[in-house]
Structure 1
Amino acid sequence: LHVSSTAYDVILHPVSSLLVSCTNLKLLLPGKQLHVQIISLGLEQHPLLVPKLVTFYTKFNLLDDARVVTENCKILHPLPWTLLISSFVKNEHFKEALSAYTKMLNRGIIPDNFTYPSVLKACGEELDVDFGRMVHSSITASCHDWNLYVHNALISMYGKFGKVDVARDLFNKMLERDDVSWNTMIGCYASKGMWQEAFELFDCMHAEGIEPNFITWNTIAGGCLRTRNFKRSLELLSQMKSNGFHLDPVSMIIGLGACSHIGALKLGKEIHGSAIRSCCNEFENVRKAMITMYS
């Protein structure tokens, strides 16, 4: 039974609020029952409710249900599809994400700056160069002003493809960069073993006053270890601690390795103590690094 337009307006917002509550409180059965009521009221195609239904099902990782809601909706706004694609990517269903993107385009729905980062990540993880280039061309041809998220996702994608020169060209052309931009580009160089370029960019990042993230600290310290600059590796780990980061198992393996090479037994014992206090000594690779240092 479909409601009149006046009753429609009265019912819509309470139903929307109830659906949000079911999502936030993780009430699966009441949420499904509410969905049935939404269908019986003829509200299942309403632009306000469709994205909330998709969000509800993705909250429980019921991605097939979310896909059915999205594919059955007739609205041409990209939001439901963007929510579905991002959920596929979050759950590492990258092929499904690319399939959903293709269906979205076939419906004549135009992606936006919120859609592209997830699609680009899926391309990178699948190492689908052709698809990635196609998406990049679509972004270039669109009327959207690229935001940071799109730029950063493009850099990351081309880094995954091993096309570091393309990634660096995109990085250089950015009018605005954030910490993700720098960290991502450094990661691209590191993944290819281009340590000199990674070190130079790391120094530029510091000069710009941009704070490296935890992964970048470990990446650069590990790069110094690989290039046998052991003292620099330990200096970086010390700076990392001074900046409020605690050493994780990767940091400790790097530190123990550097101590082993230069015979810094005292510092190695300090790292050993930190490993015990943080239970990182339970990791096999940390134990192996300790044995190597003491042998």
Structure 2
Amino acid sequence: MERPGIIIGIHGLANKPPVDEKTRWWKAAIAEGLARNEDLADAEFAFEFVYWADLRYEMPLASDALDEPYRPYGGAGALPSEEDAPKLTGPDVLGIVYESIDRIEEATGVTLIDDLILEHRFDDLWHYHVEQGFARQVRSRLIERLEAFRDRRILLVAHSMGSVIAYDVLRLLEREAPSLRVEHLVTVGSPLGLAKVKLKIEAECGVARVPNNIRHWTNLADGNDIVAVTGALAEDFVPSDAGIEVVDHRVVNDYRRPTGEPNHHKSYGYLRTPEFSRIAAGFVIPAAWRACDAPVAGATLTP
């Protein structure tokens, strides 16, 4: 019997709650999506979380400083899907404008706009690009987790800056561990479309393309997510040598803070979208394994 797959997540920008709490909330958001969108109540799945905020911040966010906890979506039934996404919004227009700037920056190699964005808005990503020691530490945490589960079908879900780390690691592993494979890479709220990021990829790895060690790459972006300012990635990354292409979906990130204010970049909203749930359903532990109480070594299961 084939061993069950495993979901490995990596977080994005900014300081985070303690690792145990952040892990629990990611699992809860995934489980909520599986229950509501795929009718998989009490689904069990192996999950590992790559946490790196402690490499940049002395202390995790305290409970009284958390203004964006995981909160289940109200009501019942399936959550909003890409068919429910608004047709055009202000941030979408910004994305169209940025796309023109992006092409100019990429063609000239002069990235003044992106430099300002990275240094003042995406501070962690700016440090990741300029501090080699920090970059090595962050990458090593993901590499260790992928190596530990290389005999499993891996769903790697990378949020925000985590998608940049995941991409860099996959291109690195192409050279250093060519037998390691990832079944499905899912990038959510990704800044991989920024000209500065693509130029860094080209400087380190060559042409920006789909990594050769993945079988699928799905990119999810909410049209109002200012981090995923370019939205789609298919035009930015050429197919892998095997012809694998990026598949883009414009989704609805429904996350709202306790105050009611929306955050269309929040990881929890992406993790419970129908588009992600559809993929995650393929990594739920089969009933045959659960009936036999077969152990899933090294991984945690949803409650």
TM category, shorter: under 0.3
Normalized per residue, which structure has more strand?
2
The higher radius of gyration belongs to 1
Output the TM-score relative to the length of structure 1.
Answer: 0.24
Instruction: Tell which has more relative contact order, 1 or 2 (C-alpha 8 A, sep 6+).
Output: 2
Task: Give the TM-score, by structure 2 length.
Answer: 0.23
Higher helix share: 1
